[in-house]
Amino acid sequence: MRSIVLTLLLLLSANVTSQEFDGLSMAVESGDYGEIKSLLVSQHGELLYEDYFLGTDDNTLHQVFSVTKSIGSALIGIANRQGKIAESDPLGHFFSELYPMNTDLFRAKRSITVAQVLQQRHGVMWDEWTLPYFNPANPVNQAENSGDWYQYFLTRPMEFIPGTEFAYSTINSTLMSRMIRVVSGQSTRDFANQQLFSPLGINSAHWELYSNGGLGQGQTVFPNPDGDVPLGYGLWLRTQDMLVFGELYLNGGIHNGQRILDREWIGKSWQRHSNQQNSQVIKDFDIEGYGYQWWIEKITDNRGRQFNMYYANGFARQFIIVIPELGLVIASNADDYVYAGQGIGTLMREFILPEIEFEFDQRFTGAWYNPMTVGQGFSLEVIDEDRVIGFWYTYGDNGKRWFVLNGTINSNQAELSIIRTEGGRFLQNDPVTESEWGTALLTIQDCYNMTLDINSDEVETSIPLTRITGDCDGALTAGD
């Protein structure tokens, strides 16, 4: 898993009209980007690209491995929305009926909280990245063979104070299954089907552990006292169902008008709880992180644009990637168990992101300024899907000027008339005269930068604009 994360960091990065992504399917079929089996791209719910490879199709179930963890986090979020579970609830609340949590073997685990499980800051000694997952000595395999993976994890020695250090653990994530059973009174499978999968239209979810023989040959009886499906790994989904799940997070927890998750939960899921300050594997505080069973990065594309990216990440390169600034969701599956070369990240940079532009929408309402000059500012307001107005005020050697900008939106640009206003005194009933001063083209570069190209009898110039207020993370600010 660590190698997968680091590979994505090396390979990646950028709202969209319908695109064909010329050459993308051919590139995947070449095999130069690994054994990719499926790739889907959507923006704002519109499917832009869908293709399947290596004998798969839209009905193929894929083992998504640790993408299961992000599904599990969503189930905890649903239970939290229902008032059944709190992030501060301790493990002792969930496991005291199964194990003697007051005894020496278990006592130190009693106070580990739901939030610390979600953040992978449980404090238990754990390393599943040094040895390959197929190695019998890997602790994930040892837990599976122990007969009770809850007990295996809860009796491991402590290495850190809970909440202080990141230690990625698949078996830690399986504890979410017990949490769901205790707070809902249902099996994890039934709760997931009723509260998440059915509302999303997902009707073919399947749990089964890995087998060389493929689907139908793996373990379906799981080693925990409840017999519940694991929320750390083992889930099988169709790629389009993965895409729908990503769109739920993109849309702030709403699907087809129904709220399933609170947007505040998504905000916490996409917050860097685990970062460079409390992890030996997360290297850059500003770029990388781990939230509530979601990975977090900032991605820079080939055009120099930087975006916040949140992703569910499964062994052998299973991905649900969400870039809220662009309204973009990408779902992909692969069989890259040993391959460590270029993959989905490079495909994003070379074939997908170059064709994607921002759409000029309400997220760009706010205050902007030209960092190259002083004494002037821009205030913009997007009125509806095709109109923007603005005010450009300057104070300098040429005196005070006040311009009104008014124009129409086309994709990532706005064509503007620049109206110069003169006269009028503050709180006085003096007339104001208006005259057309010129025209301008306002072009979005990324969430935080625009360019204003001005054409008038007085001057032709290009002005860089930088955001002062607001952001583009729609899922974190979306309303009901």
- Amino acid 201 reads G
60-92 as b/e, with b when 16 or more CB fall inside 10 Å? bbbbbbbbbbbbbbbbbbbbbbeebbebebbbb
User: Where are the extended beta strands (E) located within 93-230?
Assistant: 206-207
Residues in the chain: 480
What is the reported pLDDT for 308?
A: 87
What is the average per-residue pLDDT within 453-467?
94
- List residues bridging with 388 in a β-sheet: 382, 407
Domain 362-477 has CATH 3.30.450.20: no
What is the average per-residue pLDDT within 295-312?
86
What is the reported pLDDT for 478?
A: 40
Fold of 2-355: Beta-lactamase (3.40.710)
DSSP 230: P
Backbone angles phi, psi at 359, to 5 degrees: -95, 140
- The whole-angstrom separation of Cα 145 and Cα 161 is 28
What is the average per-residue pLDDT within 214-223?
95
- The whole-angstrom separation of Cα 411 and Cα 386 is 9
What is the reported pLDDT for 282?
A: 67
Judged against a pLDDT cut of 80, whether residue 222 lies above it is answered with: yes
Judged against a pLDDT cut of 90, whether residue 283 lies above it is answered with: no
pLDDT in tens, 397-442: 666 788 999 999 998 999 999 999 887 777 778 788 889 999 999 9
Looking at 3-7, 143-147, 337-341, 402-406, which range is the least confident one? Answer: 3-7
Euclidean distance between the first and final Cα of the chain, in Å?
36
pLDDT in tens, 151-184: 999 999 999 999 999 999 999 999 999 999 999 9
Judged against a pLDDT cut of 80, whether residue 477 lies above it is answered with: no
3-class DSSP assignment, residue 254: strand
pLDDT in tens, 50-73: 999 999 999 999 999 999 999 999
Q: Give the number of C-alpha atoms closer than 13 A to the C-alpha of residue 17, restricted to the C-beta side.
A: 7
What is the average per-residue pLDDT within 116-128?
97
Judged against a pLDDT cut of 80, whether residue 16 lies above it is answered with: no
- The whole-angstrom separation of Cα 388 and Cα 461 is 21
What is the reported pLDDT for 9?
A: 40
Judged against a pLDDT cut of 50, whether residue 4 lies above it is answered with: no
Pairing state between β 460-467 and 318-323? unpaired
How many CB atoms are closer than 10 A to CB 93?
17
Sequence spans of domains, the chain: 2-355, 362-477
What is the reported pLDDT for 396?
A: 59
What is the reported pLDDT for 358?
A: 85
Report for 19-28, 250-259, 382-391, 400-409: range of highest mean pLDDT: 250-259
What is the reported pLDDT for 447?
A: 86
DSSP sequence for 11-54: H----------TTHHHHHHTTBTB-EEEEEEEETTEEEEEEE-T
What is the average per-residue pLDDT within 250-272?
96
Residue 40: closest CA among 239, 179, 209, 312: 239
DSSP sequence for 51-78: EE-TT--TT--EE-TTHHHHHHHHHHHH
What is the reported pLDDT for 300?
A: 80
What is the reported pLDDT for 354?
A: 82
What is the reported pLDDT for 397?
A: 61
What is the reported pLDDT for 315?
A: 97
pLDDT in tens, 304-358: 787 889 999 999 999 999 999 899 999 999 999 999 899 998 899 889 988 888 8
Residue 8: band (very low, low, confident or very high) from pLDDT cuts 50, 70, 90: very low
What is the reported pLDDT for 141?
A: 95
Judged against a pLDDT cut of 50, whether residue 126 lies above it is answered with: yes
What is the average per-residue pLDDT within 362-378?
89
What is the reported pLDDT for 133?
A: 94
Residue 392: closest CA among 413, 369, 426: 369
Structure tokens at 20: 């064909």
Pairing state between β 288-290 and 432-446? unpaired
Judged against a pLDDT cut of 80, whether residue 114 lies above it is answered with: yes
